[in-house]
Structure 1
Amino acid sequence: MGNNKVGFFVCSRGQCRSKKNISRATGTWFENARLDLPRIFYLMFCFAYRTPHETVQREDFVKDGTILSSRTISDWYSYCREAVVIYQLDNQVVQGRIGGVGKIVQIDESKFGKRKYNKGKRVEGHWVLGMIEDGKEDLRLEVCPDNVRSAEVLIPLIRKHVTEGTTIRTDCWRAYDSLPEYGYVHQKVNHSDPVSPFVAEDGTHTQRIESQCRVVKQFFRKDNYNNTGNFSDVIVEFMWRRNNKLQKLDPFKRLIEAIKHV
């Protein structure tokens, strides 16, 4: 950050008089920033409210003869996202697991991406495991490591988020077959059933988690995030935004909290 942006600390005691001035930004999130504070806070506000780059450039209130480049906006949006990711993941550990004896958790794995050449069934993208407890809004999302959705990948992710004894409802993907071995009650719905592909005879369905996954995909499509290299971080960003909305919290104030946490 420029030397004249936020001022300095100067120690006047003893030998400290010979030392250089220390920027007030040293050791903070703003250290080494090249923009002035008003513009940084403007970009933070724009990130918090998902402002498109074109609007950020058009409505920039700092009139100093320069124009914010798309690269600068992207970089600061990434800095904000990094703070949100650290904050969200640290607080997720505190939240603990969902479910429990007598409770139902719906689980589904969904692929985020685009159809190959916009046709056919082949989709290039990322496998994401979604989990949500009936009667609650505590959605959990995990990006499958190495883009694999085998039992070796899915079961540990489920155990990370869902308490033993929970009744888990899934489709008939074979990777879920070993759930009872880990203390879960497992119910399935066969989406290939020509008579009742969405709801099993006993009422088992995964429609709620499937609906939640569709909402997440819409979030990704809006900003063309499907093929980004930081896909996992954007998933966390979605969860952060979703929690803010459910709790009716100001996203800008929440972003400041996240930055202070970092």
Structure 2
Amino acid sequence: MMTLHTKVLSLIDGRQTFKKRKKLIEWLMKKELLQGKMKCKLCKKRMKLEKHSNVDGLQWKCRRKKHRGKTTKKSVRSLSLFQRSKLSLFSWMKYIYRFSQGLQLRQIDLLQDGVAGSSRTLSKISLKLRKVCKSAIKRRERRGKQRLGGPNEFVMLDESNFYHKRKYGRGRFGPTWRRRKCVFGMLGIRGKRRRPILRLVKQRSRRHLIPLVTKYVRQGTTVITDMWRAYTTVIAESGFVHFSVNHSRSFVNPDTGAHTQNIERAWSTYKSQVWRLRGNRTVKTLKSHLAFIEWTHWLANEHKDGPLGRLLHDIRHFCKF
């Protein structure tokens, strides 16, 4: 049986003939990424899909006599993620495939491959897809399903600054140097599974961090932190099993074996991803990229068809017909 990845590649590879365009549109309709039915705004009857000379090769039309000679037309992209975009559906699916696979999305490579004609178009597509992912992870949070801890899962807590880095300590200071907010991370670990919750906080203080811990971490969970005073005094009193490590003396607690190496390693991965995609320029952009990291570990990696299947699923729910 053909997998989802193989099916998508077979649809977008090769020359863009009318037959392939029609086949791709039919597949997108089957996956509910495009509307399979369209009603005429004049007679309220179903419109017909007819051949057209536009970039998609097809268009919804209604030629009934009640229109008095007028022909009602609608794009096949109406009420979908692709509406108001001049980019072909082939290019959209190529970008969605690369985006979901976590491939190196260097704009120069995408432009050379003919995915889009300008870097501005690529930025708009990326923004739309991250918006879809952010909406999905927020929907999960509203349902109360984004919580860490419980049996066989422990949680590591740490904070980190996502500042702009200058090469060799030279160059101009970017606006991110004046940013006082830091990223507070809670990393749930169970076997090989890693699930992060990343929140931008105004200050590294007890008043800002502890409410987040009690909100997202279940009572009775084993929590590992450094020796910051707010952690050592409040975590244990809040109903958690608390272990700590003094980083000024060692990276691993010699008595308990507790360490925070997993979340320190995770910071390196998250920062490299954000910096590579230039997601640290504004607070809004940084929040978007942090939400995408959460989406990857909470939803994409758990889907039966992987990140691609989850992304198509979330696009379908993001654009409800």
| Number of the residue aligned with 1:191 | 247
Partners of 1:152 and 1:127 lie apart in 2 by 14
> What CA RMSD, in Å, does the superposition of the two structures yield over aligned residues?
3.3
* 1:70 is the counterpart of 2:124: no
Output the amino acid matched with 1:38.
F
TM-score, scaled to structure 1: 0.79
| Number of the residue aligned with 2:308 | 252
Picking from 263, 266, 281, the partner of 1:212 is 266
Distance 1:168 1:250, change over 3 A: closer
Following superposition, the deviation at residue 162 of structure 1 comes to 0.7
Following superposition, the deviation at residue 238 of structure 1 comes to 2.2
Picking from 107, 129, 133, the partner of 1:53 is 107
Which has the higher mean CA deviation after the structures are superposed, 240-249 or 179-188? 240-249
TM-score, scaled to structure 2: 0.66
* 1:84 is the counterpart of 2:84: no
Q: Please tell me whether Structure 1 or Structure 2 has the larger radius of gyration of its CA atoms.
A: 2
Following superposition, the deviation at residue 117 of structure 1 comes to 7.9
Output the amino acid matched with 1:79.
K
Question: How do 1:38-187 and structure 2 match up within 5 A?
Answer: 38-49=90-101, 50=103, 51-60=105-114, 68-92=117-141, 93=143, 95-100=145-150, 104-115=154-165, 119=169, 124=177, 127-136=182-191, 137-146=193-202, 148-176=203-231, 177-187=233-243
SS at match of 2:163: strand
What number of residue pairs does the alignment pair up? 251
Instruction: Give CA deviations for 1:55-98 in whole Å, capped at 9, x if unaligned.
Output: 1111117xxxxx61011111111111111111233235463422
SS at match of 1:163: coil
Partners of 2:315 and 2:69 lie apart in 1 by 32
Following superposition, the deviation at residue 115 of structure 1 comes to 4.7
Partners of 1:17 and 1:254 lie apart in 2 by 45
Instruction: Give CA deviations for 1:152-199 in whole Å, capped at 9, x if unaligned.
Output: 221122122210111211112233232233222332211123xx3432
* 1:22 is the counterpart of 2:74: yes
Question: Can you give the 5+ residue segments of structure 2 that lack an aligned partner in the other structure?
Answer: 1-51, 170-175
Partners of 2:207 and 2:63 lie apart in 1 by 57
Picking from 32, 35, 40, the partner of 2:87 is 35
| Number of the residue aligned with 2:280 | 226
Distance 1:163 1:245, change over 3 A: closer
Partners of 1:158 and 1:187 lie apart in 2 by 15
SS at match of 1:31: coil
Question: Can you give the 5+ residue segments of structure 1 that lack an aligned partner in the other structure?
Answer: 62-66
Distance 1:217 1:16, change over 3 A: farther
CA contact (8 A) 2:182 2:200 kept: yes
Following superposition, the deviation at residue 257 of structure 1 comes to 1.6
SS at match of 2:248: coil
Distance 1:248 1:242, change over 3 A: farther
